Structure 1
Amino acid sequence: MNIERYLIAHRQGTPGQIFRLLRQGRVTVDDLVVDSPRTDVTGDQQVRVDGVAVTGRQPQYLVFNKPVGFALNLEPTGQRSLGSLLNPLDQPRSLKALADLPQAAVGLVLASDDEHFLTDVAQQNWRSTLQIVLAGLTAPKLPTNSAFQAVTSQTDKVRQTTTVSITTTDVLAGVRTLNDLANANEPVVRTQLGPFVLPVDLAVGTYRGLFASEIDALNGPLDPKTE
């Protein structure tokens, strides 16, 4: 069996992730780095990813709908933290969050026990979509900021509200700007990060695992010239 099929069979990631693991030199067979997916491996050889035997490495990839006022700490004992939302099966994992959403905001937060995944996602410098709901039908004028793209507003005449959205790579500045607007009905919410949209059926204070296609999309291309 070649190493690519071996790693897929042992649930080491999506095919795209396994290609990335090999290209990044993170896979060893009998302590030798393997970078070709066609390399043959037998059952009596020692296969490791990031120094961990494949039988002990089954990484977790999660998306949270973070409540307002909750910190991004994943320790299960942390009060008002993402860790306090974990079920018993996920509590033993050494999870970390992609730490870029302040406590004042709610919405999409990624977490994983695969630090390389979090690093790869951060390096994509994805834009976030942030929005806030304001009372009234008058769209406010936001201060000029070169980091803000696609500033839009949409009125709801039935509810008598205006939803203001911005797309930006500067999440902290975006949250501060929207929070400073008058007549806010709700906290700022992140609804999208790059290609990933917060699932509409993911209630505030809950989380789920990422699908393989979502993981690959968030990782982005390993080498834009060849992929």
Structure 2
Amino acid sequence: MRLDKYLCDGLGITRKQATKLLKSGDVTLDGAKVKSGAVKVSSQSEVMWEDRAIVLRGPRYLMMNKPTGFVCSHEDGFNHTVFVLLDEVRYDDLHFAGRLDVDTTGLLLITDDGKWSHRITSPKHKCDKTYRVWLADPVQEEYANAFQQGILLRNEKEPTLPAELEIISDNEVLLTIHEGKYHQVKRMFAALGNRVEALHRERIGQIVLDETLEPGEYRDLSPQEIESIFSK
């Protein structure tokens, strides 16, 4: 591969921008400064720019502990987007495998593999999602049965799929749903006359939020976590 093409793919820049970087003298190939984009890069070559290794990556699979106040979007006129928390090249290629609201925290999966994310978001695959929910009013005894039977949401023709409710305390529950309707968890509790005060996603499928990640931190998924999406 030509060096200029390698820079384009590794940094997500145009051929013109790659040529400009090379002319600056800040790009090295195997320790030597190179200004020609025509130089060939082998699979064993080490390409550096401003002392940063440029590595061509395959599909990316990231887990983030999303903090409150950030939106799952590339652009937003009012709030910061999750992408400002990422130290990734070519972040325009990334998308979310299941968005979270601006005020919802927890497990957020980010990828550039559309087939993989489709397994999570497509209704036909019924991918489980578990949320920790804090409610304004105490949990009522009939909630568990209501979630198991399915709840008809406003402006919906069919009730939700059966969901599992685990009571943690008077105002805290764990809820596992098997679909991903718009604002579904909040709407389900609203239909029961309650209000969600805080919402935190802990699990998607078999992928559980890494407890070592502070809000705003992220890491690559392990091969086992990536493959788990196809195991169902």
Q: How does 1:1-227 map to 2 (within 5 A)?
A: 56-74=56-74, 79-87=79-87, 90-93=88-91, 94-123=93-122, 124-134=125-135, 138-140=138-140, 141-142=142-143, 145=151, 146-155=160-169, 162-171=171-180, 172-178=183-189, 187-220=198-231
Root mean square deviation, CA, Å: 3.2
TM-score normalized with structure 1 length: 0.58
Q: Is the 8 A contact 1:75 1:83 kept in 2?
A: no
Separation (CA, whole Å) in 1 of partners of 2:76 and 2:95: 12
Q: Is the 8 A contact 1:76 1:91 kept in 2?
A: no
Separation (CA, whole Å) in 1 of partners of 2:116 and 2:103: 26
Identical-residue share of aligned pairs (%): 23
How many residue pairs get matched? 159
Shift of 1:91: 3.7
Relative distance call for 1:79 and 1:163 in structure 2 (3 A) is: closer
Shift of 1:74: 4.3
Structure 2 residues not aligned, in runs of 5+: 1-41, 43-54, 152-159
Shift of 1:75: 6.2
Q: Could you say what secondary structure the match of 2:229 adopts? A: helix
Structure 1 residues not aligned, in runs of 5+: 1-42, 44-54, 156-160, 222-227
Relative distance call for 1:121 and 1:99 in structure 2 (3 A) is: closer
Q: Deviations over 1:137-176 (max 9, x none)?
A: x423545524242112122xxxxx6321211124432133
TM-score normalized with structure 2 length: 0.57
Q: Deviations over 1:55-111 (max 9, x none)?
A: 955221101122223211246999521101112xx1433211124433232211111
Rg larger in structure: 2
Q: Is the 8 A contact 2:135 2:198 kept in 1?
A: no
